[in-house]
Each structure stands twice: as structure tokens, then as C-alpha cells.
Amino acid sequence: MRWFLGILILAASLTISRAREFSVMEYNVENLFDADGVAAYEDYQPEKYTPAHLATKAANIASLFSRIEGGRGPDVAILNEIELDQTPETTVNDLPAWLESVRGRSLTELLAQSPLPPELAGLPAEAWLLKALDDAGIHGYHVATTDERPGTYESGHPLAIRNVILSRFPIKSVRTHKTPSARAILEVEMEVDGHPLRIFANHWKSGASDPENEKIRIGNARTLRARLDEIFQEDPSADVIIAGDLNSHYNQNRRYRELKTTAINDILGSQGNELALRSPDANLYNLWFELPSDQRGSDIYQHEWGTLVHLILSRGLYDQNGVQYVDGSFQVVKIPGLNADVFGRPVRWSRGQSPRGFSDHFPLLARFRTTEDGARDRWMPLSHAVRAEGDSGTPRPVNTSLVDLFDASLSPENLPGGGSMRDGSFNGRVFRVDAPARIDQRGIIRVTVQGQDYEVFTYKKNLRPKIREHVLETGRLAFHGELGTYRGRWQFVLHGPEWLGLTRIKTP
């Protein structure tokens, strides 16, 4: 009997080990460039972009990874805007071995060397990101990139950035699909617990509303659609994820009705009816439709939310065979106090003398699992089958009401739950502060709140003299400020002149 029970337990454990969940993230990182000083973009030449900028940028991306999967990071990451190395020769041919050799030295320490040794100067941007992830305790990625080389497009513009995929699963094959006047599409086939999964990483031409640029995106879509048709002709239930910055909205054909043909909807076939996957009518579903319409947004342009980045799934990810989508798991990775500001907007990457920030896009995240059922003719249950009817295509404005923001501000003396301002749970929240203030020897404005020092900072240069004047005249400072840290130092950020003083803003 014990022997029989042991067999059952072993069989159950094997099933559990094979049928597991994993996460996939799509992220446009907004220009991660390497450290060699040779770049196709003017903004990333040595006089504007230094190894210290790279150290901050890579570490910030790693800090976002560390907020996923309990600190492990996503199992698969599809990344856009990784520099296409303009000097691809390097003496480091084995990245895992290199990471092991420098494990005792931090990313910042390595990049502080001047000049950088040739083996470091020759490393591509994705190697530095792996080092930042390794420093954060995030390991185990295989790397796949397109095979593009430095040069120019037909338009004469330089090839500057490319797509990269990081995967904890074994990579079986890598293909590059080139398209005229456009960045190449990266196709990666990986093996998830014995099941094949294909992922396409895309970054299409920018300018979502531009008819001429839509023609280039249509070229992208045709290249991708032709490859998908090949795959689906061989296996209609193939497990495929299409990811990337398509520079098109999920409702492109409704948002810009003057575009007679759209790349994403009309050519690629992205649509929002999950049940249509069960018929021959469609074989792709866009995960943006998982969210209520007022929560769809990952980027901002002209004070309106956009959905330029995407995770689009094939029919096979809804059957009972191989890899399967976890219904309702799609989300925008928006973390207040980290990559989202007090208004809920992306904290953009900013170089300057004091580099900070992340990206002009929020990442997207979805969960998947493997299933051993093997039934291609049966569909997974859906908790809320989503249909696309009724989508007007009207852009959603960004809500930046200071009235609501200040009304919801916190007092340092009366925190919810009796917590500490520095326990991390209040980062990104707005506080109302009236406290002793001074200007230190370095010219930094400081306030003392509950016996602890905080820096006071604003990006508005014309506001800085007013703040200094208040401090010099009264020795105190009253303001609304966003709590956060910068390079390990605690600070309050004032985002505009309305933030100075505690007079209640009246509703317009």
C-alpha cells in the first residue's frame, strides 16, 4: 500500500512539475545603449551619454524586473529599443562565463573604469542588462537577437536599435525577418516543458496617425502575416505570441478612420473577440480587450493614452494542448513610486547630468501555463469572453486633476496603518508637508520631517528660486510633494508651482 501511494505521489508530482505557470513580458525600454561611445543616434554620443548613464538605465530596468514573479523577474521578456551594436566585435563570446567572472564586482563598479577595458567597451547593450539583472539576483536567461548589422535603411536613416528576447526556456531556433524601411522582426522558437512556443518580437514604424508611415507598417504586417500563414498552414493550433511596439493602437481602424487600411487590424488580423478563435473567422486575439476600456493605456501622446505596445495570441493558446493562456492574467505593469508618477503616467528615461527614469512605455505582462490534456479540439473555459463591439475608437485623456490628487494627499503625522514613511509602501504618494527647512552647503534644499531629513526637488527651473526664497525668509517650507528616493536619498518632488504652499486648489 505504501509503495502504491508512493507511485501516486510521484505521478502527481511529475504532472505538477510539467504543468506549470510562467510569465511573459513585453517592454519597450526606450533606448538602452552600450558603453563604447559609438552610436547612430546623436543623443547617445559620448558627450551626452556616458557609462554612468548606462549604469543607471540598466539598473532601473532591473529594479522593475525585480517587482515581477516575487523578485525572479519574468520568465520571458520581449524587449524593444536595445541598441544595434555599431561596433559588434567583442572579445567576450560567452556571456554566462563573463557574468560568472565579474560576479564579485557591481555594474556601477565595472562602468566606473576610465577608460573602459576593451573587453567591456565591446560588450553589447543586452550584456550590460544581463549584468544589472544578475546584480539584482535575477538569473537564467538565454538571449536571442536579430542578425541585423550596422548600416542604413532604404530611406538613408541608420539602423540604430533592434529587438531582443530573454528566455529562461531553451531556445530551439532564431530567425530574422527583414522588411523594407523597417526594423527586422525577430522570431524565436523555444521549448516550454517539451512544448514548442513561437514568439515574434516587433517594433514597427512610429507615427500612428501618419498615412505614409502606415504604409511602412503595412509592410511589417505583411511580412509577419505571411510567416504566420506558413505556420498555421502546417499547424492551425500552433502556440504563437506576437509582441512588441507596433506603433499602432489596438483599435487603429476606429481611432484613425481616415486610414483606409491599417496594418494591425486589416493586414495582421488583430481583433477583440475571443470566441471568434473557435471558428475559422479569426486566429489572433489582442489582449488589450481583457481590460475595461478606461484601463487601456501604456503610453501617452498629446495628453491622450495610447496602446502602442501589444501582446497578441494565436488560437492555439486557447485550446487544451501545449501552452495555454491564463484567462484574465493580462496587465499593465504600472508601479507607483517606481515607473509611474503621481498622475499614473510613465516615468520617462531622462539622461542629463543626473540620469533617472525608465521608459515612455509601461510594460505588459501575461501569464501562461502548460497543459498535458493534448486536446486540440477542446477549448479552455473563459470567465468573461470578451467581444469588441461598441468600441468607438475615441482616445482616452490623461486625468491629471490636482484637486483630486491633493485631496488624497497624506499627512506624515497620520499615516494609514501607522506605517513608516520610509518603509517603501508610500513611495509615489503625495504628502502635505509644513516643516523646518534649510539650504545645505551644496545648495540642496532640505526639510526635517519627524526628525529625518528629506531633499526637496523640482524639475521646474523657474520654481526653484521661489522655493529658495521661502526657505531663506522663513526657515520653513509648506508644500505638496511626491515622496520617493533618488540614488538612495529620500526626497519630495514638487511637479509645478501649485505644489508650493498648502492652500486648497478650487475646483474649476
pLDDT confidence band for 99 (50 / 70 / 90): very high
CB-CB neighbours of 88 under 10 Å: 11
This prediction's pTM: 0.84
- CA-nearest of 223, 243, 100 to 167 is 243
β-partners of residue 445 are 439, 456
Q: Write out the H or E segment, with its range, that includes residue 479.
A: strand 476-486
* Angle, helix 51-65 to helix 125-135, in steps of 10 degrees: 50
DSSP summary character for residue 417: G
How far is it, in rounded angstroms, from Cα 348 to Cα 339? 8
Residue 266 scores a pLDDT above 70: yes
Q: Which fold has domain 18-397?
A: Deoxyribonuclease I; Chain A (3.60.10)
How far is it, in rounded angstroms, from Cα 419 to Cα 412? 10
185-194: which pairs have CB atoms within 8 A and are 24 or more residues apart? 185/146, 185/220, 185/223, 185/224, 185/227, 186/144, 186/145, 186/146, 186/162, 187/227, 188/144, 190/76, 192/22, 192/323, 192/368, 192/370, 193/18, 193/19, 193/20, 193/370, 194/18
pLDDT confidence band for 386 (50 / 70 / 90): low
Give the model's pLDDT for residue 333: 98
CB 73 within 8 A of CB 54: no
CA distances from 497 to 23, 309, 505 (A): 42, 34, 12
CB 489 within 8 A of CB 455: yes
Domain borders along the chain are 18-397, 402-499
pLDDT confidence band for 484 (50 / 70 / 90): confident
Q: What is the pLDDT of residues 71-87, one digit of tens each?
A: 999 999 999 999 999 99
Exposure class string for 337-355: b at 16+ Cβ within 10 A, else e: bbbbbbebbbbbbebeeeb
Task: Read off the pLDDT of each residue in 323-337 and give the average, rounded to a whole number.
Answer: 95
Pairing verdict, β 299-301 and 21-32: unpaired
Phi, psi (degrees; rounded to nearest 5) at 126? -65, -25
Between residues 15 and 492, the one the model is more confident about: 492
Q: What is the pLDDT of residues 170-226, one digit of tens each?
A: 999 999 999 999 999 999 999 999 999 999 999 999 999 999 999 999 999 999 999
Q: Which CATH number applies to 402-499: 2.40.50, 1.20.1290, 3.40.50, 1.10.1060?
A: 2.40.50
Exposure class string for 407-442: b at 16+ Cβ within 10 A, else e: eebbebeebeeeeebeeeebbbbbbebebebeeeee
- CA-nearest of 33, 78, 61, 68 to 244 is 78
